[in-house]
Amino acid sequence: MDVRQALQERKSVRAFLDKPVDSDIVSRILSAAAHAPSGTNAQPWQVAVVSGEHKRTLDNALVAAFGRGDEEKMDYLYYPLEWVEPYKSRRRACGLQMYTTLNITREDRDRQRAQWQANYTAFDAPISLYFFIDPVMKTGSFMDYGMFLQSIMLAAVEEGLATCAQAALGQYPAIVKESLGYDASLTLVCGMALGYEDTAAPVNQYRTPREPIDNFVRVFT
């Protein structure tokens, strides 16, 4: 598999098979991703690989917090406080595409809520990855982190695995850090579902569109 193919095959998967992932495969993926670039070679990533009973316990705690209506508060601002175009329309189209695929109507609040709740179990993937960064690191290290996350997702494709990078898994940082024994001062960047795609699941049947490069590239000669 070449890089271009991996880039095109990678997608956000929201339904996984009940099939364990060998720990050696996870190690290969993370070892490959460790070659991602970072300013001054700071390598700011810290990764928790969560599976089995520990994952079930953490998943249950996150689902319970969501069910209680606890305030969702990430350690940093991921999204803008006020959406503007063209990002506002793209965001709406993304959500509409998923709900249309699942035949969830705008009025069906219960099914919408159930679909959102699935985020907190990493869509029942066998493995959740949680990503932390020392708060002393600033914006440039978040750029480095993005390259590391993409490297994980591409390496997973090569291994026949699927992923879904999830800001939602960072919405209850205190619960995650306490459950996993990480210092409260660390910044929880996000989480990621990792496992084998359920190719028969309707939620995995759509692909979000990408803008043609003419819409975002200017060439100077």
User: What angle do the packed helices 109-117 and 87-101 form, to 10 degrees?
Assistant: 100
| Residue 1 pLDDT | 85
Contacts of 150 (CB under 8 A, 6+ apart): 36
Q: Which fold has domain 3-78+120-207?
A: NADH Oxidase (3.40.109)
| Residue 75 pLDDT | 98
Pairing of β 162-166 and β 127-133: unpaired
Residue 160 CA to residue 17 CA, distance in Å, equals: 13
| Residue 11 pLDDT | 97
The tens place of each residue's pLDDT in the chain, 221 residues long, gives 899 999 999 999 999 999 999 999 999 999 999 999 999 999 999 999 999 999 999 999 999 999 999 999 999 999 999 999 999 999 999 999 999 999 999 999 999 999 999 999 999 999 999 999 999 999 999 999 999 999 999 999 999 999 999 999 999 999 999 999 999 999 999 999 999 999 999 999 999 999 999 999 999 99
pTM: 0.96
34 — phi, psi (to 5°)?
Answer: -60, -15
